[in-house]
A and B are shown apart, each in its own frame.
Chain A
Amino acid sequence: MSVFPFVVVAWILFVGLYGVVTSRHLVHQIVCLIVVQSSTYVLLLGVGYVTGAVAPYFYDVPVHTPAVDPIVQALALTDVVVEAAVTALLLSFAVQAHKRFGTLDPHELVSLKG
């Protein structure tokens, strides 16, 4: 159990990147990018976990009860916002790309090269 969550993190990163590299449709590719990013949430929350500890909320739990790390949770929240922001922007590019190129296959979305 002590490394299993991190193996899952590495696996999610790998399949996510595989998806980005092999995708033939921009929206599909953007979804794969979301998967890549999701590996970071699992990693963040995984490194801050303390076995047996409570969530860092002390509304109905006495203060100073051992709790898991609140910092990584705050970082993961920021991460979720970044995900939403980048995805929205990429999707707006995809909409315009579809208008200009008539396709969303990354291999055909080429205007400048060399």
Chain B
Amino acid sequence: MTPRQCRWVFLVAGAGLVAFYLWGLTALPGFGHYPGPYGPAVLRIAVEQTKATGVVSAVNFDYRGFDTVGEEFILFTAAAGVSVVLRKLREERERSAVDEAADRDVPPTSTAVRTVALLFTGPVVVLGWWLASHAQANPSGGFQGGVVLATAFVLVYLAGEFLVFQRFSPVTLTDAVEAVGAGGFAAVGLVAVLLGLPYLKDYLPLGQMAGAVSSSGTIALISFFVGLEVAAAFILITGELLEQTLLIRRPA
């Protein structure tokens, strides 16, 4: 099909499909009238059962924890795929990361950006860590914390040179951390099997105080591993793409 034909066929067919979709959507029980019963059933028991006041985290890491195992491995696989696809190929050469004025790809970092970025790095690391470790209480968790942690590393890149970024996050180490994060989550669940319980069953003693880090059993532990995995995956992905942009050159 030519692009023109493509567009016209789509406009007709797409309108038909969306009309069909809307026909179904308008049969939903109206916005704001979620009928349940899944949500209410979980809301009724979650805080009591898991000692986590953030029910979304309880769902993510406990009731539907098995989904999250798959989800972490999706991210793990994507990071692995990015490193496979962007690996340095035999005919490609790598140029030095030192800024060569003649073939400059990025404008030089200004002092202002450098200072602000450096100033932010510390707090961002702390924030990421806090988010990753408070899954059970607040709207936070390993995923958000991990992404924020990864952002801290990108700030290091903004503040200085790519080489510093690389020194802070060497690929083999990031790789290993990522695998430990994803595998750690799966292994936490496996311990339950070794104890004769169903996979991912929360086997740690629950505390009395709902919402405290130490009270929510495996949720905090899983959230920690997810944080590791997510941070490492995003650092790997960003690092591989940055390496392509800054270092890898076509064969001479």
Question: Is the pairing of A and B real?
Answer: yes
Task: Name the segment of B95-103, B106-114, B136-144 touching the other chain.
Answer: B136-144
Instruction: Closest A residue to B26 by CB, please name it.
Output: A3
A92 / chain B contacts, CB cutoff of 8 Å: 81-82, 85-86, 240-241
Write the nearest CB–CB distance from A31 to chain B, whole angstroms.
Answer: 15
Determine if B227 is an interface residue (Cβ-Cβ < 8 Å): no
Q: Which of A1-50 contact B (CB under 8 A)?
A: 1-7, 9-11, 13-14, 17-18, 21-22, 24, 46-50
Across the interface, B139 reaches (CB within 8 A) one of A1, A6, A57, namely A57
A72 / chain B contacts, CB cutoff of 8 Å: 39
Expressed in whole angstroms, the Cα–Cα distance for A96 and B87 within the complex equals 10
Q: Which of B25-44 contact A (CB under 8 A)?
A: 25-26, 28, 30-34, 36, 38-39, 42-44
* B14 contacts A77, C-beta separation under 8 Å: no
* B34 contacts A67, C-beta separation under 8 Å: no
B47 / chain A contacts, CB cutoff of 8 Å: 58, 63
A6-B10 contact, Cβ under 8 Å, with A22-B3, A92-B81 = no
Determine if B161 is an interface residue (Cβ-Cβ < 8 Å): no
Task: Name the segment of B52-60, B121-129, B162-170, B200-208 touching the other chain.
Answer: B52-60
Determine if A104 is an interface residue (Cβ-Cβ < 8 Å): no
Write the nearest CB–CB distance from B131 to chain A, whole angstroms.
Answer: 13
Across the interface, A82 reaches (CB within 8 A) one of B44, B54, B74, B81, namely B74
Expressed in whole angstroms, the Cα–Cα distance for A48 and B32 within the complex equals 7
Instruction: Closest B residue to A1 by CB, please name it.
Output: B31
Write the nearest CB–CB distance from B82 to chain A, whole angstroms.
Answer: 4
Determine if B93 is an interface residue (Cβ-Cβ < 8 Å): no
Determine if A78 is an interface residue (Cβ-Cβ < 8 Å): yes
Expressed in whole angstroms, the Cα–Cα distance for A26 and B153 within the complex equals 28
* B25 contacts A74, C-beta separation under 8 Å: no
User: Which of B6, B21, B56, B240 gathers the greatest number of chain A CB atoms within 10 Å?
Assistant: B56
A63 / chain B contacts, CB cutoff of 8 Å: 47-48, 53, 210
* B82 contacts A88, C-beta separation under 8 Å: yes
* A13 contacts B34, C-beta separation under 8 Å: no
* B25 contacts A10, C-beta separation under 8 Å: yes
Instruction: Closest B residue to A99 by CB, please name it.
Output: B250
- Chain A proximity mask over B36-79: 1 for CB below 8 Å, otherwise 0: 10110011101110000111101110001001100110110111
B38 / chain A contacts, CB cutoff of 8 Å: 69, 71
B22 / chain A contacts, CB cutoff of 8 Å: 6-7, 10
A99 / chain B contacts, CB cutoff of 8 Å: 250
Instruction: Closest A residue to B237 by CB, please name it.
Output: A88
A56-B55 contact, Cβ under 8 Å, with A6-B22, A7-B22, A74-B64 = yes
A3 / chain B contacts, CB cutoff of 8 Å: 25-26, 28, 30-31
A78-B34 contact, Cβ under 8 Å, with A56-B43, A57-B53, A89-B78 = no
Instruction: Closest B residue to A85 by CB, please name it.
Output: B78
Determine if A112 is an interface residue (Cβ-Cβ < 8 Å): no
Across the interface, B143 reaches (CB within 8 A) one of A14, A67, A81, namely A81
| 9 A/B residue pairs, CB under 8 Å, sorted by A | A2-B31, A3-B26, A3-B30, A22-B10, A63-B210, A77-B141, A88-B82, A91-B241, A92-B85
